[in-house]
Amino acid sequence: MSKQTEYVARLPDAKGQLHFPQDEHDIWQALYERQLDNLPKFACTEYQEGLKKLALCDDRIPQLTEIDKVLLDCTGWRTAAVPALISFEKFFALLANKEFPVATFIRSKDEFDYLREPDIFHEVFGHCPLLTNPSFAHFSHIYGKLGLAASKEDRVFLARLYWFTVEFGLIQKSDNSLEIYGGGILSSPGETLYAMGSTPEIRPFNLLDVLRTPYRIDIMQPVYYAIDSIEYLDEIVKMDIMGAVAEAKKLGLFEPLFEPKSKAS
């Protein structure tokens, strides 16, 4: 997770407050307004309820201290300001301590539709509403504890579980309709419409399959995995996740459904 970034994070002041220039608040407002029409149609109910609890402003980037008050009351979580991309070790340690890392910068206008690295809109708007939900919060906590204790090799497999749930997870209802709970989709207007369209393949969640599915971070996803409700995350944490990781390592990865990233890109 620790890579070079083109963004410059805003550092909190002595009171824990973040200060952004007006043009960055304008980007937040534009992103918020673009997604607002999509949420009632595509976002899962639990996400929409969490968004109401957070009461995010649509015209400015919120302070993390405002988010923390709500999360602490709902599930005992809080945010943790981080400068940019962080190491797996730091990421898992924060989740294991019920702290959700929030990179304190916002994307540029040319990355509105798809973001290659998580910004404050992705983290706060995409993920924090569901951290008010006990099932999602518990899954994130257990995931962090597993990752903290895992080997470097095993963490690569665990990253796929996070990718296809917390980041790009879908819910498929009994009537086959789809809802979004993955923050990577919910924070991207472009990926929201793409995921709800006819292009990607939707597969039922299977732990071993998820762990064996390769992905690329810089493209729209060719495949998503769907659970039947947000409460199913409680069932996943009861599974032998690390046993499934060991089995996935033996079996190897599926053939990717995308072209390899060119050396020039």
- Residues marked active site are found at 122, 127, 167, 187
- Return the structure tokens found at 115: 């973001």
Give the DSSP H or E segment for 140. helix 134-149
Give the SS3 label for residue 180: strand
Pairing outcome for strands 201-204 and 78-82: unpaired
Give the DSSP H or E segment for 243. helix 241-251
Distance CA 221, CA 190 (A): 11
Give the SS3 label for residue 143: helix
Distance CA 190, CA 42 (A): 13
**How many Å is the Cα radius of gyration of the chain?**
18
Whether residue 178 contacts residue 226, with contact meaning beta carbons closer than 8 Å, is answered with yes
Please report the beta strands in the chain, taking only residues with DSSP state E, as ranges in sequence order. Answer: 78-82, 99-103, 170-172, 178-180, 201-204, 223-227
